[in-house]
């Protein structure tokens, strides 16, 4: 009997079939930089290899950029800036919608390639390209109003503010959900009238190359959007130091953010940082515990836990901690680790052997600090033999332990009990990060009080993370500087200019008469 398309085995097989010719082409062609509308090798001829986290298979040989390649891309972006800036915003809007169309047309290819390059499970990646297309549409629609300012009449003058695009910008992105995430930056930058040099993460170059080529096919003029591959310490560093680049939008680790700030200081770079997190989910004993449980499990074990907004610390009220932990442990034990292209898979392999080693090192750190590994705590022998790890639950932790303080960035949850509201707030705020917070309670007064007290850029009450594009996205403390989303994005990619017009012939002080 023929299997229905919804049958997991049939979907898995279809995903593998879809991947085969894409991978063959990738291996044959390799990945070059994309500068001034053309695919080019590195000036030095240097390359690096990218491998799949599923089985370590070679995916592609990739151009390894350095200062000379960044210089070529920055010059192309500089040359393209004025014509792009001066294009009618309605034309920019139409072009960006065409990029969204191209992404939608290739959404299935993007999904399978992203799974194979990053190890993220298809169930989460299947829609990631569509979300990227949505990012382009959202900012395309706002392109015509990006320059709008305010009227501020005053006494003898009429003041008008307007915004102008800042110039060519650098976008530096990490490897977790790389396609979708890069479009949060690239789409508003282009809509604002900036030109872009993108430096994607060296561990996930595949879909970044696809994105820039789709943009070209959609009609984005040469030089407006360029991509240079390579490592942070050379290509990334050169981008942050280049004189023609006026701003750097960066997503990655907090320590890299510090380095970029120092590298960009001599050229006075404007920076926007989206950095690490150790986000608390606080569950009070009056909460809807079934929904809270669903959200707790989803927000740390989806996307392999390689998610900046993951709730990696569960703060649970001591009155319900035992009962809640038992249910939680059962759910974690039942999570399905497997091949990323299998739609039944909930957790795929981690991005890289080095990242796996980092996550695994926290098992010993937990034990040494006196916490209990209630579930998991070992690498996992998954299909292909890649960088799989068991989803892990750590209980009996105190707020100062390293597993309660440091970002693990894997399927690794630390549970910390608390007594009351004040205790929960103190524990939640007692880390260097401040990206998101999640609060579960039936008492809306408490929900608001706790949200107000949490040191984090984004709080969800009785919800998991649901992104709404007009809202501000970003973190406090070591989690970032600046906000993405809606007009917040344009504030970053544009300069505000005030124009003051004399209404008449007001008195001007006369000197030297």
E strand segments, 206-289: 225-227, 247-251, 270-274, 280-283
Q: Which residue stretch of 27-35, 227-235, 280-288, 334-342 sits at the interface with ligand NAD (rule: CB under 6 A)?
A: 227-235
Tokens 């309660």 sit on residue: 404
Q: Does 432 bind ligand NAD (CB under 6 A)?
A: no
Q: Does 208 bind ligand NAD (CB under 6 A)?
A: no
User: Active site includes 145?
Assistant: no
Q: Which residue stretch of 98-106, 146-154, 247-255, 368-376 sits at the interface with ligand NAD (rule: CB under 6 A)?
A: 247-255
Q: Which of residues 271-290 bind ligand NAD (CB under 6 A)?
A: 274-277
Q: Residue 28 CB, nearest distance to ligand NAD (Å)?
A: 25
Q: Does 176 bind ligand NAD (CB under 6 A)?
A: yes
User: Active site includes 274?
Assistant: yes
| Euclidean distance between CA atoms 69 and 154, whole angstroms | 49
Q: Does 202 bind ligand NAD (CB under 6 A)?
A: yes
Q: Which of 78, 274, 306, 464 is catalytic?
A: 274
Q: Does 174 bind ligand NAD (CB under 6 A)?
A: yes
Q: Does 252 bind ligand NAD (CB under 6 A)?
A: yes
Distance set, CA 275 to CA 128, 258, 382, 394, 454 (Å): 21, 10, 30, 24, 18
| Euclidean distance between CA atoms 175 and 182, whole angstroms | 10
Q: Which of residues 482-511 bind ligand NAD (CB under 6 A)?
A: none
Q: Does 256 bind ligand NAD (CB under 6 A)?
A: yes
Tell me the residue length of the chain: 513
In 3-state terms, what secondary structure has residue 394?
A: strand
Q: What is the pairing mode between strands 436-440 and 33-35?
A: unpaired
In 3-state terms, what secondary structure has residue 355?
A: helix
Q: Does 340 bind ligand NAD (CB under 6 A)?
A: no
Q: Residue 210 CB, nearest distance to ligand NAD (Å)?
A: 17
Q: Which is nearer to ligand NAD, 176 or 441 (CB)?
A: 176
Provide Rg for the chain, Cα atoms: 24
| Contact predicate 465/437, CB 8 Å | no
Q: Which is nearer to ligand NAD, 225 or 284 (CB)?
A: 225
By CB under 6 A, name the one of 237, 242, 278, 387 that touches ligand NAD. 237
| Euclidean distance between CA atoms 180 and 184, whole angstroms | 7
Q: Does 172 bind ligand NAD (CB under 6 A)?
A: yes
Q: Which residue stretch of 58-66, 95-103, 133-141, 259-267 sits at the interface with ligand NAD (rule: CB under 6 A)?
A: 259-267
By CB under 6 A, name the one of 34, 124, 138, 175 that touches ligand NAD. 175
> What contacts 5, CB < 8 A, 6 or more positions away?
11, 14
By CB under 6 A, name the one of 232, 340, 391, 411 that touches ligand NAD. 232
Within 10 angstroms of residue 500's Cβ, the number of other Cβ atoms is 12
> What contacts 138, CB < 8 A, 6 or more positions away?
187, 469
Vertex 251, ends 245 and 253: CA angle to 5°?
120
Q: Residue 171 CB, nearest distance to ligand NAD (Å)?
A: 10
Residues catalogued as catalytic: 274, 308
Which positions lie near ligand NAD, rule CB under 6 A?
A: 172-176, 181, 199, 201-202, 231-233, 236-237, 240, 251-253, 256, 259-260, 263, 274-277, 308, 407, 409, 435, 475, 479-480
């Amino acid at each position: 009997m023929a299997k229905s398309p919804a049958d997991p085995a049939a979907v898995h097989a279809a995903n593998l079939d879809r991947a085969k010719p894409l991978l063959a082409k990738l291996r044959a062609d390799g990945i070059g930089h994309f500068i001034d509308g053309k695919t080019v090798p590195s000036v030095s001829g240097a390359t690096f290899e990218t491998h799949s986290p599923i089985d370590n298979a070679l995916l592609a040989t990739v151009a390894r950029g350095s200062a000379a390649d960044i210089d070529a891309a920055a010059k192309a972006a500089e040359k393209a800036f004025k014509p792009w800036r001066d294009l009618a915003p309605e034309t920019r809007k139409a072009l960006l919608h065409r990029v969204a169309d191209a992404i939608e047309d290739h959404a299935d290819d993007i999904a399978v390639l992203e799974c194979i390059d990053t190890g993220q499970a298809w169930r989460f990646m299947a829609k990631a390209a569509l979300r990227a297309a949505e990012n382009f549409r959202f900012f395309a629609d706002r392109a015509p109003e990006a320059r709008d300012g305010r009227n501020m009449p005053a006494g003898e003058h009429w003041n008008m503010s307007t915004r102008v695009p800042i110039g060519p910008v650098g976008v530096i992105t990490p490897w977790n959900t790389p396609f979708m995430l890069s479009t949060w930056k690239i789409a508003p930058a282009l809509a604002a009238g900036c030109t872009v040099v993108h430096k994607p993460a060296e561990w996930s170059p595949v879909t970044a190359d696809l994105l820039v080529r789709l943009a070209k096919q959609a009609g984005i003029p040469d030089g407006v959007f360029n991509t240079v591959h390579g490592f942070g310490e050379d290509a990334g560093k050169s981008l942050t130091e280049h004189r023609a680049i006026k701003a750097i939008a960066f997503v990655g680790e907090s320590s890299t953010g510090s380095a970029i700030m120092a590298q960009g200081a001599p050229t006075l770079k404007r920076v926007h940082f989206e950095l690490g997190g150790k986000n608390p989910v606080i569950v009070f004993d009056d909460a809807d515990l079934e929904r809270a449980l669903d959200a707790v499990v989803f927000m740390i074990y989806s996307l392999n836990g390689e998610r900046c907004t993951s709730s990696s610390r569960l703060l649970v009220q001591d009155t319900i901690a035992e009962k809640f932990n038992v249910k939680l442990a059962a759910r974690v034990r039942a999570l399905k680790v497997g091949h990323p292209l299998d739609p039944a898979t909930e957790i795929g392999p981690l991005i890289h052997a080095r990242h796996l080693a980092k996550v695994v090192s926290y098992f010993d750190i937990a034990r040494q600090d006196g916490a209990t590994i209630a579930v998991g705590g070992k690498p996992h022998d998954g299909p292909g033999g890649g960088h799989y790890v068991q989803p892990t639950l750590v209980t009996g932790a105190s707020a100062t332990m390293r597993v309660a303080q440091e970002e693990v960035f894997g399927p690794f949850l630390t549970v910390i009990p608390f007594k009351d509201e004040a205790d929960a707030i103190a524990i939640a705020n007692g880390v260097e990060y401040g990206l998101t917070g999640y609060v579960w309670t039936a008492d809306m007064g408490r929900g608001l009080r706790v949200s107000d007290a949490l040191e984090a850029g984004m709080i969800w009450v009785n919800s998991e993370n649901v992104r709404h594009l007009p809202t501000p996205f970003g973190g406090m403390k070591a989690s970032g500087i600046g906000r993405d989303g809606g007009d917040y994005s344009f504030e970053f990619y544009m300069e505000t200019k005030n124009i003051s017009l004399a209404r008449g012939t007001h008195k001007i002080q006369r000197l030297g008469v």
